[in-house]
Structure 1
Amino acid sequence: MIFLLFLLASAAAAATGVIFKPGAWYEGLRKPGFTPPNRLFPIAWTAIYLLSAIAAARVAGVPGSDLALALWAAQIALNTLWTPVFFGAHLMAAGMAVIAILWLVVLAMTVTFWRIDVLAGVMLLPYLAWLCVAAALNWRIWRDNRTTGAA
């Protein structure tokens, strides 16, 4: 049951991708050569959301997991925020700030989960790796499109 609650929160975060689609604005931006194909994004995020929900469910009942669960809540909130900031409002600099804070929170969450349950910590490594790609992509898009008038 607890897993389903974490999965529901993850689904709410994922829903922002349905509401705030990349669209023509994003397609018109200059993107770096390491940009993953569009079809990879929903696959990666589905796996990440599933793994993070499983990891959170593993640590949820463990005494002393309060900080770990607070970090999980913070990361899902930040994760939910990034899409409307970047794709909805077209605020690339603000998106970069959100994703940088998200990366730090996920790093702290990974370390905290690892200390409670090694497997739970390992399950978060793909999330951290994908955020490295996403942050680099956000940075390069922001840097390479400053002359388009987008912030």
Structure 2
Amino acid sequence: MTAPLFSPRGSIAEIEEGDRLAPKFDADGLITAVAVDADDGAVLMLAHMDAQALALTIETREAHYFSRSRRKLWKKGEESGHVQKLVELRVDCDQDAVVLRVRMEGPGAACHTGHRSCFFRTVPLGAAPTPELKLTLNEAGKRFDPSKVYGAPKKTDTPRF
């Protein structure tokens, strides 16, 4: 039997105020993970981690995630070279989400579309949404050409998220 990776979940007080990492994984065995730029705080991406991804991230200081669509563990940058170097890992009060403060290697793009952040579009506010609602680009543009990094998408390709 393998040794446990994390502390068992205890009382609410132990989880919320204690000094032991006792993550609460959801019914699929995942925890929400938000990656932010360690220098300017920009939100780069939201992903999920299983226990193995969280443990590898802590151990290697490089972000690892679990792909829900591909149902597999992946290291950020394993294909693209756009590795996320971990500066700090924070856990929220009830330990069901983590924030990774990271520095990007390569051109500094976290998104597989070539943008710095996966959150590169803004939703207009102040009116009821309609099917015609248009998103606004909120950054300068792509930092790399995804087709040169990942190859041309095939018509049968499923989304990468």
**Structure 1 length as normaliser, TM-score?**
0.25
Return the structure number with greater relative CO, CA threshold 8 A, min gap 6: 1
Bigger strand fraction: 2
Larger radius of gyration: 2
**Structure 2 length as normaliser, TM-score?**
0.24
